[in-house]
Amino acid sequence: MPRPPTAITTRTWMNAHVRVLNATYEDFDLVPAARAVVLLVEDLALTLVEHSPRFVVRSQHVAIPLPRTIQLFEYVHTPPRPTIDDDTRASFAGVLARDHYRCAYCGVAGATTVDHVYPRSRGGNNSWSNLVACCLTCNNAKSDQTPEESGMPLLWVPRTPRTDRKRQHTIWRELTPHL
Ligand SMILES: [Zn+2]
């Protein structure tokens, strides 16, 4: 339930809810603040937006600003698609996030485009293994050639984002306590 931006106290912070985004920035869930804090403490998510007004959750070992929105570090599959294979369509944002916004051809940081390794104009698909983050310069230089043809070898092999079962399990436990 959306709440008015009233000041949070040590008694009320647990009543707050936190928006959870998947690693691909897609909206994933709304969870009680305590569960969001666990995800942060377990290093499974990062804070995108802090709660306003600011409130720091303190325990014996941690002091964490209460978030309003957090993002999972790893892609968590939604229930209708329990597995993801290499043929699954990858999202633009997902590919950039997977490659940490680094160009797969020259390694420069801040890549803003996604390149089809095997050109789309020649039948290349939108799978995780055929898409890489790419800077505008390299994207233009490569055009509709393969890496071999353009003389621009990939710096790494693009793969479907790996998921660590234990981490996924922990995330699911915090997101869906009723399961
Ligand atoms: Zn580049």
Tens of pLDDT, residues 114-166: 999 999 999 898 888 899 999 999 999 999 999 999 999 999 999 887 666 66
Of 91, 162, 99, 97, the C-alpha closest to 127 is 91
Long-range contacts of 27-30 (CB under 8 A, 24+ apart): 28/72, 28/76, 28/78, 28/175, 29/175
The protein residues having their C-beta less than 5 angstroms from ligand 1 (an ion) are: 103, 105-106, 135, 138
CA of 104 to the centre of ligand 1 (A): 7
Confidence at residue 59, expressed as pLDDT on a 0 to 100 scale = 82
Please, are residues 44 and 72 in contact by the beta-carbon 8 Å criterion?
A: yes
133's CB contacts (< 8 A; 6+ apart) are: 95, 96, 98, 99, 100, 101, 102, 103, 104, 111, 113, 114, 115
Tens of pLDDT, residues 9-25? 888 888 889 999 988 88
Helix (H) or strand (E) holding 141: helix 136-142
CA of 88 to the centre of ligand 1 (A): 25
